[in-house]
Structure 1
């Protein structure tokens, strides 16, 4: 179902026996669309996320989605967008069911919009402000991780700022439901997420835990501090290669006002090996609070990068693509390739499976490939916000 189809098909429709009346389309992406809606029972505005028709055709996925939504509804925290209700709406025209989630409607704007404004005026976000926002995102992740929910898609587009500048993280559990559901995409071992913010283990299609979210938070913090992304390329698969094989630049090499302690915080969050990152969201949040004192209050970013800039994440959306080390999968070149990290013995194996001095053979999927490198079977959804909020 296309985004245009979502808007034309569902606007004006009622759900749950007429209780929820869909109104304006707030945003659409590759997995879902979000509408402003009116709850006629409680007389309030809500945001309703509707999963695209093709994802709602499979009973196993709908059941997984329902369980995840119930778990997310139990997350109660100032920095988390609340989930009020969930259900399925029959689609009379084709017999499919449309899963939906009813969420808190946040009056505010996405963090992406706040960052873009700071980039336009200063080149990047002031360090102290970036650390405060990051700490609030981590506070939300503490709660979800305690319940065993890994977000999997932390990025500025999934963080809202209210009119009172309260951070609200949204889409908890939805990406996890996508990854775990037995759908036509996940049956073939595809990776679901936003390539620019994927952890290396997520890009490799491996099991992830809370530390994967902390890597994504590190990418987001880097972007807030510098106005650009540490890794970018022309295709989702090439970006995934970079997360696995490239070392990120130091934020202060781009923004001179970033102090060494913040450089160190970002570097630890972006370690390839999860065991070398912060052990928990709480630990990373505590470090954000500690190093915030080293940042000059209201310091103006001094952007000094003169080389080619990695594009900012403005407008990026989720993508579906094969894991970068999937045998026989599509290949893509990786500029400035470094040998993949191999975990120490007993830590669960390395990324790519090669030691520090043994490069992968040319036939291995982790090896750089000649030519432009295609990725047949890619599905890169059109960009757009996922959460229950309207910009402005």
Structure 2
């Protein structure tokens, strides 16, 4: 049962629904005692199937609530209402990085601030022993006053603490940004999974697109696990070689080949970006004066040479004129005899003969075009499913959708249309994809 607008949930009065994903639904609420708005993150009712989830939820919520950083959305409270557990968080009014990139390329100062803010938030959380597990542009909130927040910190950890149908044998994360080890359902994750997801976000900001995208979530996670990373400069020739090296290292399939920490990766990226000395295509970056390419200086006035005056045209010798006339006569004579013999412009009979010959000649049909289907090798798991957001280009006939999760069968995937922002105020619409029938239904 979902919360209703106008309903009182403890001390909070529900104002409106802001968005819905596979793991939770977000509401804007008013806390009268403190005279402020808050965001209620209500977990999916399926988590209530686990009788031990409430205790685990409280333990994990306390741990995440201890995070105190200027770039992390703070958690004020957690509770339960009609068997629905929820978190109470600071209400952030702004736009997501995803929505910002949809409006146009990032400016130099925007890119620098985002890398600094997200990198700092992750480094702090990792030091506290907490992973985010779902780094993506829609979880980065940009406030008009210039503040930048990383949202949904630890939500995947809280959701995975139970043994419900949504948490057991489930992949927590977003396919376009998920790390290979997280996509394979490994439990012993470290900061490397956040480094990879952060690297995908940097790849998207620099190259202009995510490295892997497809029509289905399973195709995308298959590529993260098995397919080689598309080389950035082959997609965007404007990506400098130093920046490309950082992206390749951050997005290595093996954890040991990536950077040891987020701080190391962020510093390497910023250094590569500055040392490149040229703006990256897909952004409006203005390089600092000390690293900007130096244009060639104009030559001093004393060294400039005045252009020489044009020389008078010489008259051609008479013998060249005569030779040219003879050559023109011979060309005309050759053309006359060629036309008479039908060598240049064939008559109707010759044209018909050539047409008939062309029609009787075997015709080679071009090979049919179409997307090459890649066999999907799913990670080794019993009944694997996906929850949370599916980002990227909308599929046909879906009118744009983000949230999804798989139900208990292997033949249907349930999806939900969300707002681009977790704090933007759009309603949701459920879709269901029938794998057998290859069709969508609302």
- After TM superposition, the score normalised by the length of structure 2 is 0.65
Q: Which of these residues, 292, 295, 298, is aligned with residue 273 of structure 2? A: 292
Q: Which of these residues, 100, 109, 117, is aligned with residue 86 of structure 2? A: 100
1:126 deviates by 4.8
Q: Distance in 1 between matches of 2:191 and 2:279?
A: 31
The structure with the largest alpha-carbon Rg is: 2
Q: 1:169 to 1:327 in 2, by over 3 A?
A: closer
Q: Which of these residues, 28, 39, 42, is aligned with residue 47 of structure 1? A: 39
Q: Which of these residues, 54, 62, 67, is aligned with residue 59 of structure 2? A: 67
Asked if the contact 2:99–2:420 (Cα under 8 Å) also holds between the matched residues in 1, the reply is no
Structure 1: stretches of 5+ with no match in the other structure: 92-96, 119-123, 310-321, 332-374
Match of 2:77 in 1: 85
Asked if the contact 1:270–1:277 (Cα under 8 Å) also holds between the matched residues in 2, the reply is yes
Q: Which of these residues, 190, 196, 200, is aligned with residue 176 of structure 2? A: 196
Pair 1:27 & 2:19 matched: yes
Q: 1:170 to 1:206 in 2, by over 3 A?
A: same
Asked if the contact 1:130–1:225 (Cα under 8 Å) also holds between the matched residues in 2, the reply is no
Asked if the contact 1:126–1:300 (Cα under 8 Å) also holds between the matched residues in 2, the reply is no
For residues 286-365 of structure 1, what are the structure 2 equivalents within 5 Å? 286-294=267-275, 301=282, 324-326=378-380
Match of 2:318 in 1: none
Q: Distance in 1 between matches of 2:85 and 2:174?
A: 22
**SS of the residue 2:210 aligns to:** coil
C-alpha deviations, 1:70-108, integer Å up to 9, x for none? 11211111111111111111x2xxxxx111111111121
Asked if the contact 1:127–1:258 (Cα under 8 Å) also holds between the matched residues in 2, the reply is no
Structure 2: stretches of 5+ with no match in the other structure: 285-369, 386-408, 427-442
1:63 deviates by 2.1
C-alpha deviations, 1:258-297, integer Å up to 9, x for none? 2222111111110000011111112112223322323558
Regions of 4+ moved over 6 Å: 328-331
Match of 1:12 in 2: 6
Q: Distance in 1 between matches of 2:109 and 2:228?
A: 25
Match of 2:410 in 1: 376
Pair 1:216 & 2:197 matched: yes
1:242 deviates by 0.3
Q: 1:139 to 1:302 in 2, by over 3 A?
A: closer
Q: Which of these residues, 134, 139, 143, is aligned with residue 153 of structure 1? A: 134
Q: 1:327 to 1:169 in 2, by over 3 A?
A: closer
